[in-house]
Amino acid sequence: MNSIGEECTELKKKYDDCFNSWFSERFLKGDHDDSVCAGIFKIYQECVKKAMKQQNIDFKDIDKDVLGTENEFKVPPTEGSS
Amino acid sequence: MARYFENTTVFNYSWDQVALGYWRRYPNPQSTHVLSEDTWTRYVKDGCLYTKRLLTKTNRVPKWGERFFNAKSVKIIEESFVDPEKKVLITYTRNLGYTKVMSVVERVEYRPSGASQTVALRSAWVDSQVFGFSRAIRAFGVDRFRKNASQMVNGFNYVLSNMFPRQVPQHTVTHTLKEMREAAAAATDRAKANVLSSVNRT
C-alpha cells in the first residue's frame, strides 16, 4: 500500500513490516514494549508530516480523538426496548 | 438525524488471525478505491494498542452529487483499539472534511466467537446537512456504504486466506448450497449412467 507522500512509501513499508512482526510475535503474546519499531516510525512520521504539509492537509482534525471519548457515536436503542 | 445502519459478519478465522490481518487488509483486489494508508499515531497504554491511521480513497459519487462533492479523493481517519487480553478490536472511521455534505462514521467491533471464528459487528451513521438534498444524500450514502461493506468483507477474507492458507476456505451459504446442488446433480447423472449401463449389459 502507498503512503500519502510518494517519497514515504519505502519508509512506510519498512515500518509496516516492523510493526506487523512486533504485533504478532510480541504484542499479541503479552509483550507490550513497543520500542523496537520506534526509530523507523519516527523517520517515517517526519516524511508523512512533510508530505501532508505540502498537500495543505489540516492536522487539527486528524489529531482530534473520537473513539473512547464522549464524542463517539452511540448505537441507538433497538426497537421495542425503552 | 443521521441514518443508522448495522450488520454482522462472521469470519472463519480466529480473533488473533483477524487482528493480524487487519493491518494488512490493503491492498486487495476489492480495494482499488483505497489510494493510500499511513499510520499517524500509535502507542501502547495499559496493555492496549491505540492507533490512528489516515487513509485516502477515491470519491465515487453519482453525477447529481458532483455539485456538492466534487473532490477526486476523500480522507478518512481510522482510530482503533486492540485489547489483546480480552481479545477486542474496535475500529472507528470518519471522513475528514466535507462532513456537512456527507458524514459517514463507521464503528466495527471484532470479538472471538469460539476458537476459530470472529464476529464483526458493524455500525454506521450517515448524515448530511445540505438543505433540500440531505435526504437524497443520506440515502445515497447508506447505499454506497452497504456496497462498500460487502466489498470490504470479501477483500478482508481474500487477505486472510492468503495469510492463513491452511484454513478451510470461507464458503458463503449460497456457495455451499450451489455446491450441494451440483454434487446432487452429478450423483443423479452417475446413478442414471449406472442404471443405463446395467440395463445395456443385460
pLDDT tens column, B13-34 = 999 999 999 999 999 998 888 9
What is the least distance, in Å, from the CA of B7 to any CA of chain A?
12
Query: What residues have CB less than 8 Å from A66, skipping those under 6 apart?
Result: A72, B79, B92, B94
Neighbours of A44 (CB within 10 A): 24
Q: Is B23 on the interface with A (CB under 8 A)?
A: yes
- Would you state the pLDDT for residue B63? 75
Find, in chain A, the residue whose alpha carbon is nearest to that of B22. Answer: A20
Q: How far is residue A12's CA from residue A29's CA, in Å, rounded to a whole number?
A: 24
**φ, ψ for residue A74, nearest 5 deg:** -105, 145
Q: How confident is the model at residue A34 (pLDDT cuts 50, 70, 90)?
A: very high
- Would you state the pLDDT for residue A81? 47
Q: Is B98 on the interface with A (CB under 8 A)?
A: no
Partners of residue A65 in chain B, C-beta under 8 Å: 52, 79
Q: How confident is the model at residue A82 (pLDDT cuts 50, 70, 90)?
A: very low
Q: How far is residue B2's CA from residue A52's CA, in Å, rounded to a whole number?
A: 31
Q: How confident is the model at residue B111 (pLDDT cuts 50, 70, 90)?
A: very high
Asked if A62 lies within 8 A of B96 by C-beta distance, the reply is yes
- Please give the model's pTM, rounded to 2 decimal places: 0.81
**φ, ψ for residue B121, nearest 5 deg:** -100, 115
Residue matched to cell numbers 458463503: B172
Q: How far is residue A34's CA from residue B41's CA, in Å, rounded to a whole number?
A: 13
Instruction: Quote the cell numbers at residue B57.
Output: 480513497
Among B89, B144, B112, residue whose Cα is nearest residue B10 = B112
Average pLDDT of the segment spanning A32-54: 95
Indicate the range of A45-49, B63-67, B75-79 predicted with least confidence.
Answer: B63-67
Query: What residues have CB less than 8 Å from B15, skipping those under 6 apart?
Result: B87, B89, B110, B111, B112, B118
Q: Is B26 on the interface with A (CB under 8 A)?
A: yes
